[in-house]
Amino acid sequence: MAVDLQALYPKLIHLMLDTVFVVDQDNQIVFVSDACESLLGYLPNELIGTLITNYMHPDDLAATRDSIDRVMDGKPHIDFRNRYVRKDGGSVHILWSARWYEEEGVRIGVARDVTSLTKAEEELHYLAHHDPLTKLTNRALFYDRLVSGLNRAHRYQGSLALLFLDINNFKDINDAHGHAVGDRILCAVARRLEGCVRATDTVARMGGDEFTVLLTDIQSVDTVNEKVEQIRMAMEQPLGTEFGAVEMPSCSIGVACYPDDGRDADTLLSRADSHMYQIKRRSR
């Protein structure tokens, strides 16, 4: 028996896990497959006759309109991502494949929910650029920000400062109280450093018990000295009662400024590191 494919096509479309949208040149939805309920929380009859732009996430609206213009100009867009707002108010990340059909006067788009994939990509990106223990910027991202800051300072004849901080006798804490307590102290140091800087500055854990702070757009050496003193005072505050008898360790802070102490990232890191060890030796 011959199969009537023409009659079968609509059933096949409604079986698809991805959602099929058919939209006219005025962005009005003229057809949507049943998968829209899973994607956006709406039944097809709730969407048909409404503008598809009503459901686009406002932060992605401009980029989405650019994609629509591209498709309407006869250039298919098969890898466009944006967010839509669901009926329940939540947002969904969508991967689109869309094409304009001039003869029929409609734009057909196939929408795939990539929310889980997007969140996984964001998590991997975060892990690649942050220290897993303290959640601070890691060495690689800090270096990139230092280079960017130096380029900006050079272009606008500005200045910046690099602080290199090391916790004194941290090994003794690990030996006496265990690495779990040592890890909690590292996190306490991280939070205190974050509390001492502006949103435009960067705090990073370089590894072990070493931290760096990038201060951008500094006004004078006095500003840097005041910041070092603020950090020193923050580190001298006692630990909370949850640490029991464990005392907050002291720290040594080295400083290097652009352009006086160096004009490239490696030189500044080396100078700040050397200065920190000078201070550490003097404290002993």
Q: Kindly list the catalytic residues.
A: 209
- State the Cα–Cα distance between residues 258 and 152, nearest whole angstrom: 11
Amino acid at 92: V
The residues, ordered by sequence, that sit 6+ positions from 81 with a Cβ below 8 Å of its Cβ are: 93, 94, 95, 96, 114, 118
Long-range contacts of 59-65, Cβ-Cβ distance < 8 Å, separation of 24 or more:
59/83
3-state secondary structure 25-70: CCCEEEEECCCHHHHHCCCHHHHCCCEHHHHECHHHHHHHHHHHHH
Residue 188's nearest CA partner among 239, 116, 136, 120 is: 239
Question: Residue 270, exposed/middle/buried by CB under 10 A (0-12, 13-18, 19+)?
Answer: middle
- How many helices (H) does the chain have, and how many strands (E)? 10, 9
The residues, ordered by sequence, that sit 6+ positions from 261 with a Cβ below 8 Å of its Cβ are: 267, 268, 271, 272
- State the Cα–Cα distance between residues 32 and 45, nearest whole angstrom: 9
- In residues, how long is the chain? 284
In a 13 Å sphere around the CA of 215, the CA atoms on its Cβ side amount to 25
Residue 203 Cα distances to 92, 97, 197, 279, angstroms: 32, 41, 8, 20
